[in-house]
Structure 1
Amino acid sequence: MEQVLFSAFGRNFSGTETVLIFLVVLLALSVAGIVAITRASRKRQDDAIALVQRNAEMERHMADLMRVQSEMTGRMGTMSEIFGSRTSDLARLLTERIEGASHRTNQSVNETRVKTEESLSKLNERLAVIDRAQTTIAQLSTEVVSLRDILSNKQSRGAFGQGRMEAIVADGLPAASFNFQATLSNNNRPDCLVTLPNDAPNLVIDAKFPLEAWQRLHEADTPEQTKLAVASFRNDMNVHVKAISDKYFIPGETHDTAFLFVPSESIFADIHEQFEDIVQKALRQRVVIVSPSLLMLSIQVVQALLRDVKMREQAHIIQQEVSNLLSDVGRLSDRVLKLQTHFQQANKDVEQILISTGKVTKRSERIEQLEFEDPKEAAEADVQLPLS
């Protein structure tokens, strides 16, 4: 019985089996090595074939590159020749352009110098105007100080607001379309009464704005003073709006809407921004708060309405003139027809005259064609007859 060399996998291996296993393993390793060598040889052959193909491809590429290089060399030579000719042309053109530019530059410099001299002269004139304007501004500052003194008085402020309102109305409407300080049927006198067209009721404009309360509001330094000034201004505005609504709304005599004139655009904007309730309450009482620009716009609308009414009043005159014009055109047409009849008769007379002249001409031709004896021959014949 053979000796056991080792045990593995639950089995005992003897020396012969061990040798056989070693030989089998060696044979497998040999086969694997041969297969690996064969694969490596095939791979080297494939690499060699690929290398040869790449070399051939590279040679083709090199040939193409040499051909392209030769073509590029020829093209570069052609381009160098073209570039040389173009460079000379460009140099000549640049020279001409530079000469023209220098000429234009000199001309422009001369013109600029002339214009600069003119500008300096005008600048001196404007400086003189500015000096005069400074003098005017100084005078205006004096007038502004006097205006401030005027506005410090309550009655003067009222007259100032009414003066602006009267200036706007007088500039935009004819004198017959408005009346200042007119007396209504209830013995109240609004600042302005605008006569509306088409027999519409008159429009009332009041310029008594409570400017004192507004100034107290802007002169307030503490929250308590501001609160009191706001309450005072709101109360004065409400009282004034109610007075306009009670005094100046007369059915059939005045319009159902009145204007409360504010003599400043900034005050008008602040009222609409800070006292929207006053504006809405005035609108509910049919009193519209207007600034100088809004009053001017309203006056322009009234002016357009008055112009339209005047045009309508003149419409019947235009219609009468058009009717007279049509009558004149009719008479002119009749006279043209009569003149045409006279022309036709004259044409007929001319035709008859031409016919008569034609007949006379033909008869004259026939008379010329008749044959008569020569007068000399007839006289000789008369002399010879007695002698015979």
Structure 2
Amino acid sequence: MIDPLLFPIAVLACCIGLAVLLALAWSRLGALVAARDAAAREAGELRARVEALAAQSSNLERDVRGDLATARSESAAAAVAARAELATNLARFSQSLQQQLAGMASGQSEQMQHFGLRLAELTRTNQERLEAVRATVEQRLDVMRDENARKLDEIRVTVDEKLQATLEQRLGASFKQVSDRLEQVHKGLGEMQTLAAGVGDLKRVLANVKTRGGWGEVQLATLLAEMLTPAQYAANVATRPGSFDRVEFAIRLPGKGDTGVPCWLPIDAKFPLDHWQRLQDATERADLAVMDASRKALDEFFRNEAKKIRDKYVEPPHTTDFAILFVPTEGLYAEMMARPGFADTLQREQRVLLCGPMNLAALLNSLQMGFRTLAIEQRSSEVWKILGAVKTEFHRFGDVLAKTKDKIDQASRTIEDAGVRTRAIERHLRDVESLPEHDAVRIIGSIAPSADDGAGTP
């Protein structure tokens, strides 16, 4: 049960609270009304500002449009003015260029005229000089012609005199020689008769096969002796080791390496005189059958001999891979070489080279050149040694030369020092008064002996 005393207090408290709440609500309501009024005023101000900004914007737009129109008109006017100025400048430049071109053309024309005049003057001067030179040359040629004519006359007189004397002398000598020759002819007729008898003996000698071979060997030996030295070939050489077959001649070629064992080039001489004589006789009689038979016999003879030479004498590496079959007469060699492919067949199948006197001489000459080249190569090592010694001595000479240069430089520096001291003495003596020349000679002459005496006295 509520206390009756507290009830009025509670009611009073409620009333007070309600009054406080009403006061607060009224004050809040007043603040809201004030705020609404302030907001209304601000909204009015904002509306006024917006309207002012809109007016300013319309004014600004109108100003910008006016400025743009003005700028457009000014740009158009400036473009027109620039175009007009450009056209004016172009016209001025064109006129100036035309004037310059006209000036250059006139200047070039004047220079061309000047050059033409100068060229004409030079041409005239050259012609005058050439005329002067030609006149001088003609004058000197006339003098030389006269001198030559005079000398030729003198020479002609001298030659005529000498020819006359020589002719008389030669005619006398010729008549004497003719008489001597006639006497020798008479003697020769008797010798010819003896020789005719000897020819028959020679035919009988050549009819012997062994003698014919000996004659070919003699001719081959003579040719080798003329073209090579005795150390470069040998006779009767056994070219195949262990064989008793000996080739007539063999050329000594250098072997491989430094062993000193030679490599031989076999050469054998063959002369089928009977077949060759039959061919010659048949050719003189125009006997075709005998000519063909003789040619076939010659072919068979040389083929067989080439085969024998290959089998007996060719043995690489002790020999070359080919041998030489020497034909002692050019006529027989030409006959065999005139047959198509015969020499190539011998060389290809039998490894034998067919040679006559002329081409064997050429081959020996080539071998001689090869021997000389080989000798030069063998001596090249000695030359290199000599050059090495010379190089060593030259280095020593360079050292001596460098020492000599140092001595010369030292002497040059000493002379330079003496020059420097001389110039220093001259600078110190510059203020000293010079004596006359005769007094100086007298004083120096009197001082020099006393100085020598003082130097010689201990």
Do Structure 1 and Structure 2 share a fold, with TM-score over 0.5? yes
Question: How far does residue 229 in structure 1 lie from its aligned partner after superposition?
Answer: 3.3
Matches of 1:146 and 1:321 in 2, distance apart? 62
Q: Does 1:218 align with 2:283?
A: no
> Residue 282 of structure 1 aligns with which residue?
346
Question: How far does residue 111 in structure 1 lie from its aligned partner after superposition?
Answer: 3.7
Name the CA shift for 1:317/1:103 in 2 (closer, same or farther; >3 Å): closer
CA contact (8 A) 1:268 1:290 kept: yes
Amino acid across the alignment from 2:279 = L
> Residue 50 of structure 2 aligns with which residue?
none
Question: How far does residue 288 in structure 1 lie from its aligned partner after superposition?
Answer: 1.4
1:109-166 deviations in whole A, cap 9, x for unaligned? 6743532432443455466667777849949966797577445423333222111111
| Secondary structure in 2 matching 1:325 | helix
Aligned residues: 270
> Residue 194 of structure 1 aligns with which residue?
251
Amino acid across the alignment from 2:227 = G
| Secondary structure in 2 matching 1:350 | helix
| Secondary structure in 2 matching 1:322 | helix
Name the CA shift for 1:225/1:116 in 2 (closer, same or farther; >3 Å): same
Matches of 1:288 and 1:128 in 2, distance apart? 53
Name the CA shift for 1:305/1:197 in 2 (closer, same or farther; >3 Å): farther
Question: How far does residue 252 in structure 1 lie from its aligned partner after superposition?
Answer: 1.4
Name the CA shift for 1:286/1:357 in 2 (closer, same or farther; >3 Å): same
> Residue 81 of structure 1 aligns with which residue?
none
CA RMSD of aligned residues (A): 3.8
Name the CA shift for 1:227/1:176 in 2 (closer, same or farther; >3 Å): same
Name the CA shift for 1:278/1:315 in 2 (closer, same or farther; >3 Å): same
Sequence identity percentage: 21
Name the CA shift for 1:293/1:245 in 2 (closer, same or farther; >3 Å): same
CA contact (8 A) 1:237 1:278 kept: no
Matches of 2:151 and 2:263 in 1, distance apart? 77
**Counterparts of residues 193-272 of structure 1 (less than 5 Å):** 193-199=250-256, 201-220=263-282, 222-223=287-288, 225-272=290-337
Question: How far does residue 279 in structure 1 lie from its aligned partner after superposition?
Answer: 3.0
Q: Please identify, of 185-194 and 343-352, the stretch whose mean Cα deviation from structure 2 is larger.
A: 343-352
Name the CA shift for 1:302/1:132 in 2 (closer, same or farther; >3 Å): farther
Matches of 1:106 and 1:288 in 2, distance apart? 64
> Residue 404 of structure 2 aligns with which residue?
339
Which blocks of at least 5 consecutive residues in structure 1 are unaligned? 1-96, 370-388
CA contact (8 A) 2:322 2:352 kept: yes
Matches of 1:255 and 1:230 in 2, distance apart? 30
Question: How far does residue 266 in structure 1 lie from its aligned partner after superposition?
Answer: 1.6
Amino acid across the alignment from 1:196 = L
Q: Does 1:299 align with 2:354?
A: no
Question: How far does residue 260 in structure 1 lie from its aligned partner after superposition?
Answer: 0.9
Matches of 1:295 and 1:133 in 2, distance apart? 38
Matches of 1:176 and 1:268 in 2, distance apart? 29
Matches of 1:332 and 1:205 in 2, distance apart? 56
Match of 1:112 among 160, 175, 189: 160
Match of 1:157 among 205, 208, 212: 212
Which blocks of at least 5 consecutive residues in structure 2 are unaligned? 1-144, 257-261, 435-458
- Computing the radius of gyration over CA atoms, which structure comes out larger, 1 or 2? 2
CA contact (8 A) 2:270 2:328 kept: no
TM-score scaled by length of structure 2: 0.51
CA contact (8 A) 1:261 1:292 kept: yes
> Residue 444 of structure 2 aligns with which residue?
none
**Counterparts of residues 351-366 of structure 1 (less than 5 Å):** 351-358=416-423
1:303-360 deviations in whole A, cap 9, x for unaligned? 1111111111111111121222222222222211211111111122223334444555
> Residue 455 of structure 2 aligns with which residue?
none
Question: Bigger relative contact order, structure 1 or 2, given CA contacts below 8 A and separation 6+?
Answer: 1
